[in-house]
Amino acid sequence: GESVGLHLPTLSVQEGDNSIINCAYSNSASDYFIWYKQESGKGPQFIIDIRSNMDKRQGQRVTVLLNKTVKHLSLQIAATQPGDSAVYFCAENGGSQGNLIFGKGTKLSVKP
């Protein structure tokens, strides 16, 4: 199930199940979106990206969906594995300095 902690929402899933992580982005002018995975004590690791002219993009075991109408992104992970346990951030390219703006993040915990 999903819960919201003090700062970081947590999603707990059983190994082998599919995971869906959601994100609301802030800038309607953003046209490029990325999902990152961050393990404890490490920098963000690129997972998948999507441009605003697309609604869906698939990678290996991951799919990103973009709904521009409601400014919503989701990351779907198929057959979730213990190694997928991490914090997942969405990011958009709407920063005034050409920087990425990061969402709040979701902690994914995979139970064996």
Partner 1 sequence: GAVVSQHPSRVICKSGTSVKIECRSLDFQATTMFWYRQFPKQSLMLMATSNEGSKATYEQGVEKDKFLINHASLTLSTLTVTSAHPEDSSFYICSARANSANEKLFFGSGTQLSVL
Residues that bind partner 1 (CB under 8 A): 5-8, 32, 34, 36, 41-46, 49, 89, 93, 95, 97-105
Shortest Cβ 80–partner 1 spacing (Å): 21
Q: Is 102 exposed, middle or buried (0-12, 13-18, 19+ CB in 10 A)?
A: middle
Shortest Cβ 75–partner 1 spacing (Å): 15
Shortest Cβ 37–partner 1 spacing (Å): 11
Sorted by sequence, the CB contacts under 8 Å of residue 54 that are 6+ apart come out as 66
When the beta carbons of 49 and 61 are compared against partner 1, the nearer one is 49
When the beta carbons of 78 and 102 are compared against partner 1, the nearer one is 102
When the beta carbons of 17 and 32 are compared against partner 1, the nearer one is 32
Q: Which of 35, 50, 26, 25 is nearest to 108 (CA)?
A: 35
8, 106 in Cβ contact below 8 A?
Answer: yes
Q: Is 72 in a helix, a strand, or coil?
A: strand
DSSP H helices, the chain, are: none
Shortest Cβ 11–partner 1 spacing (Å): 15
When the beta carbons of 13 and 36 are compared against partner 1, the nearer one is 36
